[in-house]
Amino acid sequence: MAAVAAPGFPGWVIEHGYLRELQPWETLRDDLPSARTSPIVAPPPRNSLDPARARLERLLLDDAPPPPPPRPLISTRVIDGRLPSAAKVRAAEAAVDHVPAAIRAKLSRAGARIELIAGVDVAAHPQFSHHPHARYCGMTKFAEPFAAVAVDADRDPGATVLHELGHILDQVAAHPSRSAGWGEIWERDKRSGKVSAFADQRTRPSEYFAESFSRLWSPRPGVWPSSRAAERFIMGLC
Ligand SMILES: [Zn+2]
């Protein structure tokens, strides 16, 4: 389209011999040497395309895969100038992605957070500095849905991340590990040899709860199996 600016009317152009008001999307190229004879670039009004574009977008959205279910927030923190490696962070995220979507959604709605740190001792984390003599790979706060995991303690930190996430679920669901129902499962599983001595599980039902959570969804093959009763109990919390 060729047009010339109407003399004395900066917002108007003469086009095919007629005076026409400039539209908002049009600009007079007055930066060029001869503004009066410069072509005006006028793209078609966007609105004329919108119904078709909206239909297409709706179609594309309908066919798009559903968004991934939410994952409790995993972040990293620098401790002693070090960050966990990307490979360890990926392993932690992959482990959490094994947890059923309903449980993940419950945890993320409650604001669950896991912070990954480099090193082998989680007591280096500022949130747990009151445990100077403890050497733990993972630790969960009782007052908030928060845990820290030192990812270099293990070749694959996923199991520890899941164990701490089990403690967080226990908190978020108002401590079902203290209930009579869980107590029965714990006693029965102890008698049938399903409760190992690892991580205080034989003395504390809350540790068996966290460890069952970890074993149920650990991506690592050959993990000590948890009982079906434990699995049903934990799944029933969602
Ligand atoms: Zn624990």
pLDDT at residue 156 is higher than 50: yes
pLDDT at residue 131 is higher than 90: no
Model confidence band, residue 154 (pLDDT cutoffs 50, 70, 90): confident
pLDDT at residue 135 is higher than 80: no
How far is ligand 1, taken at its centre, from the CA of residue 221, in Å? Answer: 21
How far is ligand 1, taken at its centre, from the CA of residue 166, in Å? Answer: 8
Please tell me whether residues 136 and 79 are part of one structural domain. Answer: yes
Contact in structure between 183 and 130 (CB atoms under 8 Å)? no
How far is ligand 1, taken at its centre, from the CA of residue 136, in Å? Answer: 9
Model confidence band, residue 34 (pLDDT cutoffs 50, 70, 90): very low
pLDDT at residue 47 is higher than 90: no
The total domain count for the chain is 2
How far is ligand 1, taken at its centre, from the CA of residue 138, in Å? Answer: 8
pLDDT at residue 197 is higher than 80: no
pLDDT at residue 126 is higher than 70: yes
How far is ligand 1, taken at its centre, from the CA of residue 83, in Å? Answer: 23
The answer for residues whose C-beta is within 8 angstroms of residue 76's C-beta and 6 or more apart is 83, 84, 89, 115, 116, 117
Helix, strand, coil shares of the chain, percent, nearest 5, are: 45, 15, 45
Please tell me whether residues 87 and 183 are part of one structural domain. Answer: yes
Please tell me whether residues 137 and 175 are part of one structural domain. Answer: yes
Please tell me whether residues 140 and 202 are part of one structural domain. Answer: yes
pLDDT at residue 222 is higher than 70: no
Q: Is 44 exposed, middle or buried (0-12, 13-18, 19+ CB in 10 A)?
A: exposed
Eight-class DSSP state of 106: H
Alpha helices (H) in 173-217, listed in sequence order: 180-191, 205-217
Please tell me whether residues 20 and 105 are part of one structural domain. Answer: no
Using CA atoms, how far apart are residues 8 and 162, in angstroms rounded to an integer?
Answer: 74
Contact in structure between 122 and 150 (CB atoms under 8 Å)? yes
Please tell me whether residues 219 and 103 are part of one structural domain. Answer: yes
Q: What is the pLDDT of residue 45?
A: 55
Nearby residues for ligand 1 (ion, Cβ within 5 Å): 207, 210
Please tell me whether residues 115 and 165 are part of one structural domain. Answer: yes
15-24, 26-35, 172-181, 199-208, range with the lowest pLDDT: 26-35
40 falls within a domain = yes
Beta strands in the chain (DSSP E): 4-5, 12-15, 18-21, 73-77, 113-117, 138-140, 146-150
Q: What is the pLDDT of residue 31?
A: 47
Q: What is the pLDDT of residue 36?
A: 47
Q: What is the pLDDT of residue 104?
A: 93
pTM, 2 dp: 0.70
Q: What is the pLDDT of residue 32?
A: 43
How far is ligand 1, taken at its centre, from the CA of residue 6, in Å? Answer: 80
55 falls within a domain = no
Please tell me whether residues 14 and 88 are part of one structural domain. Answer: no
How far is ligand 1, taken at its centre, from the CA of residue 210, in Å? Answer: 6
Mean pLDDT (whole number) for 33-41: 48
Please tell me whether residues 114 and 210 are part of one structural domain. Answer: yes
Please tell me whether residues 104 and 170 are part of one structural domain. Answer: yes
Contact in structure between 82 and 115 (CB atoms under 8 Å)? no
67 falls within a domain = no
Q: Which domain holds residue 230?
A: 73-235
Mean pLDDT (the chain) is: 81
How far is ligand 1, taken at its centre, from the CA of residue 229, in Å? Answer: 20
146 falls within a domain = yes
pLDDT at residue 157 is higher than 70: yes
Please tell me whether residues 29 and 85 are part of one structural domain. Answer: no
